[in-house]
Amino acid sequence: MKITIEVDCTPEEARSFLGLPDVSAANSVYVDNIAKAMKGVSSPDQLQEYAAALAPMGQVGLKLFQSFVEGGMKAASRGEGPKSSD
């Protein structure tokens, strides 16, 4: 048997309901810093350098995210969808 429940709410409402902290102020600071750093980027290599320096967990986080995206792209090209546990 499979039961699906759909909840229509904003990210703020979901965070509040789950008891998670409001990180919008920290996110704003992070995005502003990245935007300022990216204004001087003139090449893809320089962009990768900045992203590696600014990303959470530095180079490790960037590599993890890159492998996650590549894995998703490979699965999508093979026509695989999300795995479900029935």
Q: Rounded to two decimals, what is the model's pTM?
A: 0.38
Question: For the segment 7-27, what is each residue's pLDDT rounded down to a tens digit?
Answer: 899 988 988 888 888 888 888
Report residue 4's pLDDT band, with 50, 70 and 90 as the boundaries: very high
36 & 48 share domain: no
Token duo for residue 15: 């965070």
Evaluate whether 52 touches 58 at the Cβ level (below 8 Å).
yes
CA distance 30 to 34: 6
29 & 48 share domain: no
Question: For the segment 57-75, what is each residue's pLDDT rounded down to a tens digit?
Answer: 666 766 776 777 777 777 7
The alpha helices in the chain, defined as continuous H runs, are 11-18, 24-38, 44-54, 58-77
Show the domain range for 61: 43-79
- Cα 8 → chain centroid: 21
27 & 54 share domain: no
Question: For the segment 33-56, what is each residue's pLDDT rounded down to a tens digit?
Answer: 777 766 766 777 777 776 666 666
- What pLDDT does 12 receive? 85
Q: How many domains does the chain have?
A: 2
Evaluate whether 29 touches 23 at the Cβ level (below 8 Å).
no
30 & 54 share domain: no
86 found inside a domain: no
Evaluate whether 41 touches 50 at the Cβ level (below 8 Å).
yes
